[in-house]
Amino acid sequence: MSAIRFENVSKSYDGQIVLQNFSMVVQTAETKVILGGTGSGKSTVLKMVAGLVKPDSGQVLVEDEDITDLTENELQPIRRKIGFVFQEGALFDSLSVKENVAYRLRENGVRNEKEIDEIVREVLGFVGLEDAIAKMPAELSGGMKRRVAIARALVGHPRILLYDEPTAGLDPITSRAICELIIKLRDLERVSSIFVTHDLKSAYTMASEFAVLGPHGEATFVSENDRFCLINTRFLMLKEGKVLFEGPDETLRSVKEEYIQEFLS
């Protein structure tokens, strides 16, 4: 079973082509890093997985179920499987951090305050932000907002996570912290994901490090080496709605495409 599958998807906005005959597969527990410049159709891919944007032609399958022609109501059970981390977080600024994270629980009809509090503390603990529980989004820094957004996406244990430039515009240390979270989810929780970015450093971190559980149950990060090569993260490069490259990071660096070389340099 594949987690996400695109088959010959095309999309254009007002005559401008965003995706052209785009096909790809994300396997279960795999992370697909989508690279590409601004306007290359990366964000559109993510929105299609969650059914927020409909393709003009072609099919989108989530866990082998065709979601292309589903209505908003029919999409609800699909969206429950998916956690979406938006660019800049997209936290509801009228709600506190706690209510943002608890949003999905309340929407799903959980009324038990104690249970809600427990789950919220657990996911905020995972992203290391228990202290911010009572704050409003406006009081948070950019990096904290992204982490709260990840926490909000994690509620309900989605099997698929979609990250829209989670490290864009952040300092290296915060970016690193966010990458580690995503690696933990990939390796320890076996979540399938799409990681859209133009931040090469984060992309390489994702492709070269993996998380293992230490003796006391804490996650430690190990780099791949001569004996071990990470295969659950693959790259995909988009340019003007077309796939320029797909494969592991090792081959990406050796491709002799002009645009790719320019992008990587």
Partner 1 sequence: MSFIYQSVYEVQEFTLLSFRAVTNLFRKPRYLQDTLQQMDIIGVGSLVIIVLTGFFTGAVLALQSANSLKAFGAVNLTGQLVSLSLIKELGPVLTALMLAGRVGSGIASELGSMVVTEQISAMRALGTDPTKKLVTPRMIATTTMAPLLTVMADLFGLVGGWIVSFYALRLNTELFWTTAIRSLDYNYALEGLIKPIVFGFIVGMVGCYFGLRTTGGTQGVGRSTTQAVVTASILVIVADFFLTKIVLELRP
Cβ at position 104, least distance to partner 1 in Å: 5
Task: Choose which of 7, 28, 103, 128 interacts with partner 1 (CB under 8 A).
Answer: 103
Q: Do the Cβ atoms of 196 and 238 come closer than 8 Å? A: no
What is the rounded distance in angstroms from the CA atom of residue 27 to the CA atom of residue 4?
Answer: 7
Cβ at position 161, least distance to partner 1 in Å: 11
Taking alpha carbons only, the member of 120, 50, 119 closest to residue 79 is 50
Residue with token string 């109501």: 73
Q: Is 119 helix (H, G, I), strand (E, B) or coil?
A: helix
Taking alpha carbons only, the member of 206, 207, 221, 84 closest to residue 156 is 84
State residue 72 phi and psi, 5-degree precision: -55, -40
Q: Is 235 helix (H, G, I), strand (E, B) or coil?
A: strand
Binding of residue 90 to partner 1 (CB under 8 A)? yes
Q: Cβ closer to partner 1: 95 or 264?
A: 95
Cβ at position 264, least distance to partner 1 in Å: 29
Q: Do the Cβ atoms of 246 and 24 come closer than 8 Å? A: yes
Task: Choose which of 88, 122, 180, 257 interacts with partner 1 (CB under 8 A).
Answer: 88
Binding of residue 86 to partner 1 (CB under 8 A)? yes
**Binding residues for partner 1 restricted to 117-176, rule: CB under 8 A:** 152
Site string for partner 1, 34-73 (x = CB under 8 A): -------------x--x-x-------------------x-
What is the rounded distance in angstroms from the CA atom of residue 264 to the CA atom of residue 250?
Answer: 13
Site string for partner 1, 190-229 (x = CB under 8 A): ----------------------------------------
Structure tokens at 232: 């659950």
Binding of residue 11 to partner 1 (CB under 8 A)? no
Task: Choose which of 32, 79, 146, 234 interacts with partner 1 (CB under 8 A).
Answer: 79
Binding of residue 110 to partner 1 (CB under 8 A)? no
Kindly indicate which of the ranges 31-39, 85-93, 120-128, 235-243 contains the residues binding partner 1, using the contact rule CB under 8 A. 85-93
**Residues composing the chain:** 265
Kindly indicate which of the ranges 102-110, 111-119, 194-202, 229-237 contains the residues binding partner 1, using the contact rule CB under 8 A. 102-110
Q: Cβ closer to partner 1: 78 or 219?
A: 78
Q: Which amino acid is it at 107?
A: E
Q: Cβ closer to partner 1: 97 or 243?
A: 97
Residues whose CB falls within 8 Å of the CB of residue 214, separated by 6 or more in sequence, listed in order: 220
What is the rounded distance in angstroms from the CA atom of residue 52 to the CA atom of residue 60?
Answer: 12
# of chain residues touching partner 1 (CB under 8 A) = 21
Taking alpha carbons only, the member of 134, 169, 131, 129 closest to residue 149 is 129
Residues that bind partner 1 (CB under 8 A): 47, 50, 52, 72, 76, 79-80, 82, 84, 86-88, 90-93, 103-104, 107-108, 152
